[in-house]
Structure 1
Amino acid sequence: MTEVPSMHYLLSFLKYLLCLMTFFICWQPFNWHHPGISHSKRKLLQSLMGPYGPLSVSYNGKTCILFKAKRLAIRYRNHTFIDLTERVFNPNSPVDTKGSICTKEKATLSLKFGDVEDLRGLVIRLQMSNTFYEAAGQNWFTLDSVHIHYNWTQEATFNASEVYAPATSSYHCQHVSSLHKYDTLLVPSSHTDTSANWHITFTDFQIQAFNVQSDKFASASDCATFLTPAILMGLVTSLILLLVLAYALHMVVHLKHIDRYEEHKATVYFPRSPEAELPDKNSLVLLKVLLLFSTGREKKERELHSEMERKKRGYF
């Protein structure tokens, strides 16, 4: 079977794609646990990049709220985001949580920052509730709202009705945000107040406000759905590979079919008519003329030869 250039290029591209996928799949684990990075260096990188441990809030001498986020950022209108992560979780500059309150049915996490850049008296409050649902047969806690207080008298409120978990568990979500690209779990309470001008985002968010037994989170109820971006990317990549493989198999089968057809192909025979086999009339006439001409010439040559013989013998 003769090799087709397009088929050769297709197989080369397929090998390259498989190698590239293998590299990206294997890169992350080696990057996380590279043997050349010592434990002290990994610890240093972790301290520089975070995350910090959870923020523990006590009320009446007992831990009642655990809060953790890899990043907490706010933005007013088109200004740049203000990163508040260091101010919340850095042990060297702890945030003021004295305004936090915990009861059996309600809990408030108060994060008082003071003056931050152009904002005066910045305070972020998370309002949570613990409710018994007969249909579920257990208590569930919900994050009811998030409030941003600034400039002493201004307030922006976001509803968070989609943030909930069993009261015996903690709640975890990769992004709890007012941005549309993060599913908008925080919705401005009204478009008439200042909340429409604000954006707030918690990255790698985890919180527990009820039934806190120690300084560690209980098992987390995650908000992630089955079709996360990583899973979707894997599905799309697999689909592309399947299409390429299907096309390659189709080309191989098609080439084999062509070769089989070439082997069994019969010799083409074009029949000739009897008229085509007979000589043309003009050809016959020309042939007769040539014969007559040659016959007359031979006759003259014989006469000339006879005359020359007679002269030699002296007959004249």
Structure 2
Amino acid sequence: MLARAWLWALLSLYSQLATCHEPAEGDRALPSILNSGINGSELVGVRRGEGHVPAGHTLRSLLQTGSSRRLLQTPGAAVPFPPLKVMGDGKPCILFRARRIALRYQNNSLVDLTQRAFSPDSPVDTRGSVCYKDKAQLVLKFGDVEDLRALSIRLQMSSKFYESAGQSWFSLDRVSLHYNWSEEARFNVTEVYAPATSSYHCQHVSNLPRYSPLLVASGSTDPARLWSLTFTDFQLQAFNVFSGKFSSPADCATFLTPAVLMGLISSLILLLVLAYALHMVVHLRHVDDYDHKTTVYFPRAPDSDTVSADKSSP
């Protein structure tokens, strides 16, 4: 109760301060924070002027500052890296981004390549990448990673014009891993395509069964069967790149997912059972009415029996 009273007192203090000056963007967010019951010591990363308010400052100290401020992301929140750009003829020709790149060989430890691929401080080597009118290849050379030597990932893409659609579409055809200088694991890619004027986006591009795998080992004896590769929050554009930003994405998510499809089938079965049950109920009601009408007995009147007897006598 004491804590609640303290929060309400701070809220009233904030309302008095708000009448003295126009609230900034960060000020408008504070009432919801007060009402949610968050302690002032839990607020971190609040910007004040040109500096930063260190963690541990109370709400009272934040409310008494007259300069503009805003809430930033809390520590540990995932901050996406900018997209990786491959230049061709002095302008971007391939854009690639993923929130995470996870690689594992059999039962070995998981290797996270995200920092190596997208960190601006140590950009990955993309020499060997090519951009043509109908072909493109993105080469990511990571060098030595743990027990792997000369590790690289290559994404091969193509573009084709379809007369029925009246436009060109690009597709990701193959993803291959090169390691230990001469070994290669090749994945064929299924259903990764988009209009050439758009980018392609998918939450998971992986060969793991739990993600509806889009990467498939190219053969039964290919070393790719021993690897697991997962791109999380995958986005790619390899053709018609006119700036350093992705075009509108074509997402891999469809309406008729397996779960939605099973739900529709189950609903259809239930509707059919319900319709059949209603039909049977209506039919049984008609049968009851018919049986009731046929079993009704109407006795003859006594007068009619006497008259008929008199007529029959000589």
Give 1 or 2: higher helix fraction: 1
Amino acid at match of 1:204: D
Largest Rg, 1 or 2:
1
Alignment correspondent of 1:60 = 89
Contact conserved, 1:69 with 1:206, CA < 8 A, in 2?
Answer: yes
Alignment correspondent of 1:198 = 227
With CA pairs under 8 Å and 6+ residues apart, which has the higher RCO, 1 or 2?
A: 1
Alignment correspondent of 1:103 = 132
Contact conserved, 1:59 with 1:100, CA < 8 A, in 2?
Answer: no
The 1:127–1:42 alpha-carbon spacing in structure 2 relative to 1, beyond 3 Å, is: farther
Alignment correspondent of 1:79 = 108
Distance in 2, matches of 1:130 and 1:44, equals 39
Alignment correspondent of 2:212 = 183
Shift of the alpha carbon at 1:116? 0.1
Contact conserved, 1:113 with 1:123, CA < 8 A, in 2?
Answer: yes
User: Aligned pairs, how many?
Assistant: 202
Contact conserved, 1:114 with 1:122, CA < 8 A, in 2?
Answer: yes
Structure 2 length-normalised TM: 0.60
1:213 matched to 2:242? The reply is yes
Secondary structure at the residue paired with 1:136? coil
Amino acid at match of 1:168: T
The 1:122–1:166 alpha-carbon spacing in structure 2 relative to 1, beyond 3 Å, is: same
Please, what is the CA RMSD of the aligned residues?
Answer: 2.5
Alignment correspondent of 1:134 = 163
Shift of the alpha carbon at 1:59? 1.7
Distance in 2, matches of 1:48 and 1:149, equals 32
Shift of the alpha carbon at 1:54? 0.9
The 1:228–1:91 alpha-carbon spacing in structure 2 relative to 1, beyond 3 Å, is: farther
Runs of 4+ with >3 A deviation = 33-48
1:157 matched to 2:190? The reply is no
Structure 1 length-normalised TM: 0.59
Alignment correspondent of 1:145 = 174
Unpaired runs of 5+ residues, structure 2, are: 1-28, 34-42, 48-69, 268-314
1:1-316 aligned at under 5 Å gives the runs 36=33, 40=47, 43=72, 45=74, 49-226=78-255
Shift of the alpha carbon at 1:95? 0.5
Shift of the alpha carbon at 1:174? 0.4
Distance in 1, matches of 2:75 and 2:245, equals 19
Shift of the alpha carbon at 1:220? 0.5
Between the aligned residues of both structures, percent identity stands at 58
Deviations 1:49-102 (A, max 9, x none): 221111111123120011111101111111122110011111111100111100
Deviations 1:121-148 (A, max 9, x none): 0000000001111121110000000010
Deviations 1:10-31 (A, max 9, x none): xxxxxxxxxxxxxxxxxxxxxx
Amino acid at match of 1:208: Q
The 1:61–1:195 alpha-carbon spacing in structure 2 relative to 1, beyond 3 Å, is: same
Deviations 1:211-268 (A, max 9, x none): 0011110010000022569x86xx89xx9xxxxxxxxxxxxxxxxxxxxxxxxxxxxx
Distance in 2, matches of 1:117 and 1:82, equals 8
Alignment correspondent of 1:259 = none
Distance in 1, matches of 2:71 and 2:90, equals 35
Distance in 1, matches of 2:112 and 2:94, equals 22
Amino acid at match of 1:210: F
Amino acid at match of 2:237: Q
Distance in 2, matches of 1:118 and 1:42, equals 42
Shift of the alpha carbon at 1:45? 3.9
Amino acid at match of 1:73: A
Secondary structure at the residue paired with 1:49? coil
Deviations 1:263-307 (A, max 9, x none): xxxxxxxxxxxxxxxxxxxxxxxxxxxxxxxxxxxxxxxxxxxxx
